[in-house]
Amino acid sequence: MGLGYIGLPTAIVAAMHGIEVTGVDINPQVVEMTNAGRLHIIEPGLEEMLREAVKAGTLKASATPETSDAYFMVVPTPFKGNHEPDVSYVEAATRSVLPLLKAGDLYVIESTSPVGTTEAMTHIIFTERPELKDKIYIAYCPERVLPGNVIYELVHNDRVIGGINPESTEKAIEFYSCFVQGTLHKTNCRTAEMCKLTENSSRDIQIAFANELSLICDKAGINVWELIALANKHPRVNILQPGCGVGGHCIAVDPYFITADFPAESRLIADAREINNYKSFWCAEKVKNAILEFELKHHRKPTVAMMGLAFKPDIDDLRESPAKYIVTKVMQSCDNADILVVEPNVKEHKVFKLTDYREAYEQADVVVFLTAHSPFRELPWREDKVMLDFCNYQLKYKQ
Ligand code: SAJ
């Protein structure tokens, strides 16, 4: 259930291992493209595998679920306005497979979920289908793949699997053993849910430390990337990289699933979220100031190149993207005509008119590097332009 950034690759990898898979998605375009062997996401190497699986007949997409032996909920869990987790897609997907469930089936939630979601869905399933109590297997098994390296990580990463009882855990392990070569670690569903939230909160906190350092270094006149590269020469220090904020649908979202349920206890987790959000605001202010300074000095509006919209390098995913937030903020406060927006991984965008990166770089008086996409690396540092580099685009101080 769900053919997105995780559901689709999982369906493809399972199909490539001989499992007969029906991928279900509510978006008819996704269903149509998948059946035509065309990938609706960017993921290196995956389209060839999709074509092969569709040709072999082991994978097909559909708008409605079909009777199966195992059901996987791989739908989004966003948050509502007040940062409360929204599990309505998980519930909708669960309700749509409810009539199909039969004794002996496996039901797994993969979507990142607040603690207690698997138990809540179990309650729904057994309320609606009481005859299935103790007759089906229910587990939570989060994914851990990194967009851009999905095919390798789906197979090689260790996974944490937590059933509502030991039998469910074993049944889920039996399934994942078909294609996962990493170790499958057994636990209960609440621990597995919290484990996923912990992993992403841990990364958010580490990035917040790097972003905090970047603010300090900016004031202190220190190159933060050089500083971090040097500090990381210590055998027990491993600081991550500052950027223009934290984006994506995971790290910028999942910590709120903890803070919403445990507000008094999760102070560090909440602070990290605030620091990472503040970094994007700070970057937008820096750009606005650079534009004003240019105007004062040259008595004309500058042409500004905003380099990158995606939430991290070399992907096309703009969800929760700090770069997109910064571009929007800057455009709102300046005359749109002078802002050139660049995103080499996206052909067209509904809101932003996109410009080729070389052209924008050439034309711009002020260049703002937001996302360190690989093609940008070829662009030489230009002393004749106002350069704002929020992402170490040349990877000059690579760890
Ligand atoms: N970022 C930094 N500095 C860094 C590393 C990342 O600013 O040193 C920023 C990125 O630019 C991006 C954001 O953090 O805006 C998140 O990027 P990411 O590469 O850290 O992570 P995601 O969101 O692509 O994937 C994460 C991964 N989780 C962890 O590394 C703990 C992945 O393994 C998960 O499967 C994924 O979340 C998920 O689906 O939850």
Q: Is the dihedral of CA 80, 95, 40, 21 positive or negative?
A: positive
Examine the residue annotation and report whether 385 is marked as an active-site residue of this protein.
no
Nearest ligand 1 atom, CA 211 = 7
* Residue whose entry in the numeric block shows the structure tokens 């978006």: 27
Does ligand 1 have an atom closer than 6 angstroms to the CB of 314?
no
CB 164 within 8 A of CB 118: yes
* Residue whose entry in the numeric block shows the structure tokens 């919403």: 260
**Of 109, 146, 198, which is best to mutate to test ligand 1, by the most ligand atoms within 8 angstroms of its C-beta?**
146
CB 175 within 8 A of CB 161: no
Q: Domain 243-397 belongs to what topology?
A: Rossmann fold (3.40.50)
Does ligand 1 have an atom closer than 6 angstroms to the CB of 147?
yes
Q: Which residues of the chain have pLDDT under 70?
A: 336-337, 399
CATH node for 7-197 = 3.40.50.720
CB 191 within 8 A of CB 140: no
Q: 244: closest CA among 192, 343, 321, 329?
A: 321
Does ligand 1 have an atom closer than 6 angstroms to the CB of 311?
yes
CA 373 to chain centre: 16
What's the whole-model pTM score? 0.93
Does ligand 1 have an atom closer than 6 angstroms to the CB of 9?
no
Identical fold, 7-197 and 243-397: yes
Q: Ligand 1 centre and the CA of 209: distance in Å?
A: 15
Using DSSP's 3-state secondary structure scheme, residue 177 falls into coil
Task: Quick: pLDDT tens for 345-393.
Answer: 999 999 999 999 999 999 999 999 999 999 999 999 999 999 999 999 9
Catalytic residue among 141, 244, 250, 334: 250
Residue 337: per-residue pLDDT: 56
- Domain segments of the chain as ranges: 7-197, 243-397
Does ligand 1 have an atom closer than 6 angstroms to the CB of 204?
no
Helix axes 189-220, 224-231, angle to 10 degrees: 120
Catalytic residue among 171, 196, 312, 324: 196
Q: Ligand 1 centre and the CA of 251: distance in Å?
A: 6
Does ligand 1 have an atom closer than 6 angstroms to the CB of 246?
yes
Nearest ligand 1 atom, CA 246 = 15
CB 91 within 8 A of CB 121: yes
Determine the Cα angle at 377 with ends 376 and 382, to 5°: 85
Q: Ligand 1 centre and the CA of 396: distance in Å?
A: 21
Helix axes 189-220, 117-128, angle to 10 degrees: 150
Residue 81: per-residue pLDDT: 81
Task: Quick: pLDDT tens for 83-94.
Answer: 999 999 999 999
